[in-house]
Every structure is written in C-alpha cells, then in structure tokens.
Structure 1
C-alpha cells in the first residue's frame, strides 16, 4: 500500500448527491439514479466517474454520522446544470492516491488500513476535504479484476 502523494488542482463536478451514513449506506441507489442521466451533463472532461464523500465539519468517522455522497462527472465549465443535479467544486489540495484492486468485498478493510495504519506510519494527517474514488475504464463492478483510484486528502 504505497500511494502517490499529489497536489490536486481544483476540480469542477456535476452530479447527484444524497445524505447517508455508513449504517444507512445508499450508494447503490445513488448510482442507479445517476447513471441513466449522466449523458445530460454538458462540458464533460472524460468518462471517468467520481464517487465522492463530503463530510460535515468535525466529522468523526462514527458509522451513524451523516455525510454527503456524490455520483458525478468532471466538467470543464458550468453552463447548464440538469434538473435534479448539482455542482460541486473539489478545492485544490494535497492528496494521497491509492490504487484499489478487487471486487469491493474488502474495501472497508482497505479504507480502515489507510486511516489506522498508513496515515500514522506516514506521519500525515487526514484533512476534512472531499475524499473520492475515480472509476475509469479499469473499473468493473463486482469483478476481481476491477481497479479504481482512491483520493484521500492529507496534510
């Protein structure tokens, strides 16, 4: 688990957001509402899908704490935002970028090891900015050959 540390430029996104917690995790429903409508978004930079988590101030990683989850696409500019969608700006900042491979069955363990092992060992701190996954052409839902990039904001 050796991430790349990058300085991420600001990103403009358009998508659908839903408030949820890990105890009431509705990510499948979120993506089911977004995917049929993704072609309505204008000025799309690429086909990469963004699975974003925006945490409230003082977020404590408690499974009951609500956060905002987004299904989105990156855009060059905001022109027309489709009805029922919103815009989101991910501010520029420092990120640790991990590659996750697998069918998702051990994703929670992978994330737990980032926050409980890797961050302390790297002597870095998590910063409460949007954290997200980028799902590109290598992403294949529920496939052991699937690959995605995980972006964790760090100080």
Structure 2
C-alpha cells in the first residue's frame, strides 16, 4: 500500500487514556471507545461530526513485554471543554505517512495492518518513522461493524 505524505501543524486533543500492557492481556479498545462516548454524551460534548483520534505513544518493547499509552480523544480548540477525568495532549506537527485501513475491525486484522505498515510498507515507500508513536484518525468514513468502514493511521516519518 502506498502512503499519502502530508505535513501538518500540531493538533490539540483531549480524551481518555488507556494503558496497554501485553503481560496484562488484550486491551478492550472497542469497550474503551464506548466508555469515552458515554462520557461525552453525558457532558453534552458528543458531536458525531467531529474528528476523533486514537493517539498511541510511549511504545516500548522489553523482555517480550510490549507497553504503550493510547489516548482516545477528539480535537479541541479550548481546553475548558474537557470533561472531568480527561487529559490534554498535543499531537506533534510534522511530516506524516498516512495508510488507510478498510473493513470491519477485528484484533488480528488490525494487528496485521500495523505489522504491514511498520515492517513492509514504510520500507517499500523509502520512509523511516521519526518517533515511536502514531495516531488513528476517525471521521465520517468510519462505520462501526461494517466492511465499508475506513480510518487512517498516521505515522510520523523522516
């Protein structure tokens, strides 16, 4: 899959942090997203027209253990809008390679997609990740449970 390359300014987001640790088992990411939207609906901040981000950072592999932080979030302009318990974050600006995931979500398929990005497609495109992080970008193309669904994975590159 050929990446689209774009340069962006930083993106201010706020959301719910999920800590992933392979020694603790699979993280229920769909369940975490559901909780996130429940909080937003209670605060009146739920707007399906907005853009949503799954920001992965602090990725580390050591002694067969993989850990990373995953921030389920949305773009914000004013930090006063943040619901209680959410955290603020800035997704760094810069040059990104964008790969589009198509189809229904399932853990094995998503894992294979990420493996293809990092172990095949970036190399085939002559790109190198610049940081140990990435983000998922969800907009109106995402349709939960549908083979017609799409979202983008943005990888910072040099």
**TM-score scaled by length of structure 2:** 0.83
Residue 129 of structure 1 deviates from its aligned partner by 5.0
Residue 41 of structure 1 deviates from its aligned partner by 7.6
4+ runs of 1 displaced by more than 4 Å? Answer: none
Is the alpha carbon distance of 1:69 and 1:5 closer, same or farther for their aligned partners in structure 2, counting shifts above 3 Å?
A: same
Among 24, 27, 43, the residue aligned to 1:25: 27
CA distance in 1, matches of 2:115, 2:152: 16
Is the alpha carbon distance of 1:49 and 1:61 closer, same or farther for their aligned partners in structure 2, counting shifts above 3 Å?
A: farther
**TM-score scaled by length of structure 1:** 0.85
Q: Which runs of 5+ in 2 are unaligned?
A: none
Tell me the number of residue pairs that the alignment of Structure 1 and Structure 2 aligns. Answer: 151
Residue 25 of structure 1 deviates from its aligned partner by 1.9
Does structure 1 residue 86 correspond to structure 2 residue 87?
A: yes
Partner of 1:114: 117
Cα deviation digits, residues 13-36 of structure 1 (max 9, x gap): 010001113543231232122111
Q: Which runs of 5+ in 1 are unaligned?
A: none
